[in-house]
Structure formats: structure tokens, C-alpha cells
Amino acid sequence: MKSLKSYNPLSVSVCFLSVILISMFSLNPIIIMLSFTGGLILYCSTPYCKSKKIHISVFIIIAGCTILNPIFSHNGKTPLLFINNNAVTAEALVYGLFMGIMVAGALYWFAVYSEIMTADKVVYSVGRFFPKSALMLTLALRFIPVYIKKSKEAIAVQKTLGTFKTDSIVYKVKSVMRVFSVMISYMIENTIITSDSMAARGYGGGKRSRYRIFSFDTADCALTAVTAVIGGIYIAVSAFGFLDYSFYPSMKLPGFETAAVAAYSGYFILCLIPTIIEAGDKLKWRLLKSKISPSHTPVAQKQ
């Protein structure tokens, strides 16, 4: 078992994006709940996400959607009350609630996903399909921090020259334009050095290869395969209409045919896979730690 961070970004992306996309395109309340539950469990159990603030946003989103949807949508058969002669229906209320849960669930998933997908992993994934764009992205990722740092320096210098004034909005705009113009010359001049450096290392000569810093191993194959199988089942079941659901005009229970139950359980397993991977990794280390005692370390033996 290895942690999600050491999986190949492609296999992780396939898994996460499948979960998120399925929940986003499904109106089925069970799928939405499963995605939300899976996301919540993953978020709370992974070591990457420490911030508790996200739960507040989640609450606001769910509450907001639940309240706002009935105000704008008056579909549905069961009026609860009338405001300005417009019906507030139970269907619209529940629809809003589930939409909120769907967005909130996606938020948890994306929060963990963005922790795992660092910039270089994004570049790697993009480069798999668009090598040229990925290279541009790499250049930009280097260039931006350098440029920001230099701009700060330029502002400091212009301040001491007395040409960076923030007394009024007119001065401020003028001063910022000034620094901007300084930075443009700086950028143009120095890009020549960068392009020389690229040319000196053979860029533009012909076919390029791409160094892959992330390997695609058995675990990645397994993750991708499981995702593909479950996704395939979901799509098949959904194509036959077993998972169709509509809140309007009136709510009913979602389908519970064998095929639907298979799709639900499959999707739930998919939602739990990232958590299982992480838990497995943690467990492995706990087991290893109990084995590593001072007398067993090779260094201790040598001495």
C-alpha cells in the first residue's frame, strides 16, 4: 500500500474525476448522498486537509441551496406555503437540499484532489496529452514567482526614488503603471537570456521526448482498472434507465432493482477506495513501526 500522493497523478485523476462527474451528472439522491459521505469520510481521514473551515462553507452551501431553490423554482405538487402568491413546494425544497449536498460533496472531493495534485502533477497530466502546452505551463510556473519577486523590488526602489506614491488614486494608478512598464522592459530583456538558454540546450531542434517523473505501476493499473469497471457498470445501468430520478412533479423513492443496487454499491466502493488506500498506508506504517526496534536496525548491529 502506498499513499494517494505517491500514486500516478493520472490514475488518481481518473478515480477522483469519475466520482465527481458521476455525482454531478446524476440527479439520483442516493448517488448524491454516497458521493457526499465518501467525500466527507475521505476529507476527515486524510492527513493532508487540516482546515475545519470547509465544514462551515459546506453548511452554508447546503442551507443556501435549500432556501434559495424554492424561492426561484415553483415546480412540484406539494405546496408548503405561499409567498406573494407563489407556492413554496416540498419538491423544490428537497431538490435544493440535494443540489446543495451534491455541490458540498464535490467540494470535499476537490479539496482533497487539489492537495494531492501539486503543480508538477498537473503539468505531468497535461503533458501526457498536450506536451507543448505542458512545457508552456512549466515556463509560466517558473516565471511567475520570479516576476512577482522582482515587481516587489521594483516597487520598493520606485518608492525610494519618490516616484511611487499612493496618496491618491491618480498617483496610485500612475505609479503602478510605472512599475508595470519597468517590469515589461525587464521581462523582455531577460526572456532573451532564457531563450538562449533553451537554444543552447537543443530546444527547437526536432522531436522532443518527455521525462516522466511519475511511474505507472501495478497499484496504478489496479486503481484505474477498478475505476473503469465500476464506471462501466454505472454507465450501463444508467443507460437502461434504472438510475433515473426526478424530483418534479412529485417525489418518489429511487429505484431499487438489482441492477440499481449493484450500481449503488459499486459507486460507494469507488467513493471509499481513496479512503481505503490512505488507511492501508497508515496501517502499514503502524505495523512497520512496531517491528522497527533499535536492536533490529542494521546500524546498531554493525556497531
Q: Which of 63, 208, 256, 280 binds other proteins (CB under 8 A)?
A: 208
Q: Is 199 in the site for other proteins (CB under 8 A)?
A: yes
User: With binding defined as CB under 8 A, does residue 173 bind other proteins?
Assistant: no
In one letter, which amino acid is 238?
Answer: S
Interacting stretch for other proteins, rule CB under 8 A, among 15-23, 75-83, 197-205, 221-229?
A: 197-205
Q: Could you say whether residue 294 binds other proteins (CB under 8 A)?
A: no
111-170 binders of other proteins (CB under 8 A) = 119-120, 123, 138-139, 141-142, 145-146, 149-150, 153-154, 156-157, 159-162, 165
> Is the Cβ–Cβ distance between 19 and 253 less than 8 Å?
no
The least CB distance from residue 130 to other proteins, in Å, is: 15
Which residue, 117 or 123, is less far from other proteins as judged by CB?
123
The sign one gets for the Cα dihedral 139, 140, 144, 145 is negative
Count of residues binding other proteins (CB under 8 A)?
A: 49
Contact 13, 274 (CB under 8 A): no
Q: Does 75 bind other proteins (CB under 8 A)?
A: no
Q: What is the radius of gyration, based on Cα positions, of the chain?
A: 27
| The binder of other proteins chosen from 201, 252, 289, 291 (CB under 8 A) | 201
CB 42 within 8 A of CB 274: yes
Which cell is 273 given?
Answer: 477506495
CA distances from 86 to 45, 72, 76, 95, 231 (A): 44, 9, 12, 17, 41
Which is closer to other proteins, CB of 103 or CB of 182? 182
Span near other proteins by CB under 8 A; candidates 37-45, 98-106, 185-193, 218-226: 185-193
Distances (CA, A) of 149 to 7, 105, 120, 122, 153: 33, 37, 21, 24, 6
Query: Is residue 172 a contact residue for other proteins (CB under 8 A)?
Result: no
Q: Which three cell numbers stand for residue 147?
A: 516576476
Distance separating alpha carbons of residues 118 and 302, to the nearest angstrom: 40
Decide if 136 contacts 68 (C-beta within 8 A): no
Residue 181, interface with other proteins (CB under 8 A)? Answer: yes
Q: What does the binding site for other proteins look like in residue numbers (CB under 8 A)?
A: 119-120, 123, 138-139, 141-142, 145-146, 149-150, 153-154, 156-157, 159-162, 165, 178, 181-183, 185-186, 189-191, 193-194, 196-213
